[in-house]
Copies of this chain bind each other. A is one copy, B any other.
Amino acid sequence: MSTPDPVHPTSVRLRVFSLNCWGIRYLSKHCAQRYTMIGDLLAKEQYDVVLLQEVWSEKDFDALRKKLASSLPYGHYFKSGVIGSGLAIFSKHRIQDTFRYRYSLNGYPYMLNHGDWFGGKAVGMAVLNIGNTTAHFYVTHLHAEYSREKDSYLPHRVVQAWELQHFIRYTSAEADLVVLAGDFNMHPMDLGNRLLRTYADLRDAYVETPKFDGCEDGGTMIAENPNNDMVPPEKGIRIDYILFKGSSRLELHCESMSTTKGSVLDHAFPYSDHEALTAELRLDRVAQDGVSQDGSNGMGPLARGSDRTAGKLAELVDIVTEARTEVKVGLHCAQGMCYTAARTGVMGLVLLLLELAIAAVPWLALGAPGPFPSVSFYLLGALCFLILLTTALLYLFYTMEIKSLQEAEDQMRQAVGCLQERLRGFPLASPGPPGKERRPGGVGPEE
């Protein structure tokens, strides 16, 4: 609740909730009942902002909205792709504006069993005014990881993380408070996660909080949850996050964090196949002299002295280089698939021409014996046509994939170049104006 705090009388507290709802109608187990449970929870608990993922049906969003009309009167569903992005936000505070960035890459349309492509995955942004604080809330859901050992979607997820950090970095420059929540489908130390946290200078609520109540190691996909089809390791994995950052005008602390623990009291099944996250954030306005109430400079750990920043620059160079390598691997695969599609298409065309030539001969030789054309002739013709059509569509799709991968790789190359230049010219341990490097969030362009 955005109410004054008795210990920090001028502070304001915010309660943020995030859950991947696993809301595939008719396919997810107990979907309708679970939405009822989720609605009851949200109506009862005094959340300020609720960020949901995998709300695949707008009807479910509308039902929630109706139910939460008095407790969380403002809401937005981010429409995208074929079936919608699944991303939704509910808020106690008026939503001033929303914006959506759809990721360039998001799996393959022919992978019907995975289905990520149809979701048109995106990051949704909502601008809220909480008192005199401008808050930007972001909700996202990145491409699923179907196999940790052979993760063919890794380059797509890395590019999504790259675009996500870019989007947050540039759109949050004027925000006092930034919160990103969602299902990242990445373990805490996975490449995309490091890239996102480091470049956009976001702090992990689970890591920062002094008070945590939830599953072991903060797991949000746990073996104890009976809804899990893909049973995670015994200790569970942490793939859902609440990240945040303040600004030079506002210091932000995560006072406590909790997750659900599989089962729900008085209910036969959990809210979802993921665990829900709740974070309590404390907002302290920074005084004009740049010092907040508790004496810190309000800039978080990443803007304290230039040696720290130099170290962060070096870390960023490593991370972006690693990401670039991953994108290059993806590029190599995409180019291979594009080439295969083109070659198969050409073979289909040759086969079709060959067949037409065979058909033309008896037509020219009018006195040919026996009935023509035969069943096999037409079937072969249809097959050739199907091959041509499919390979043409695949060729188009892979070409677009290649363009997006190349664009990300170009941007990464450029970023590494600029970061290295800054690093070379960095006056080690010189004082420098504190906080100057915070704009546009994290390590932004050189100023």
Residues of A within 8 A of B (CB): 76-82, 84, 94-102, 104, 120, 125, 127, 129, 132, 134, 166-167, 170-171, 173-174, 371, 373, 375, 378-379, 381-382, 385, 389, 396, 399-400, 403-404, 406-407, 410-411, 414-415, 418, 439-440, 444-447
Contact = CB atoms under 8 A, between A and B. Distances in A.
Q: Which of A96, A102, A166, A389 has the most CB of B within 10 A?
A: A96
Counted per complex, copies of this chain come to 2
Contacts of A385: 382
Contacts of A82: 396, 399-400, 403
Contacts of A94: 418
Q: Which of A100, A129, A444 has the most CB of B within 10 A?
A: A100
Contact of A411 (B99, B418, B447): B99
Contacts of A170: 99, 125, 170-171
A415 B99 CA distance: 11
A60 B371 CA distance: 56
A166 B167 CA distance: 12
Nearest to A101: B101
A447 B134 contact: yes
Given A79-B406, A97-B444, A174-B439, 16 more contacts: A79-B403, A79-B404, A80-B404, A80-B407, A84-B403, A96-B418, A97-B445, A99-B166, A120-B400, A129-B446, A134-B445, A171-B171, A174-B174, A371-B371, A375-B378, A382-B385
Contacts of A174: 173-174, 439-440, 444
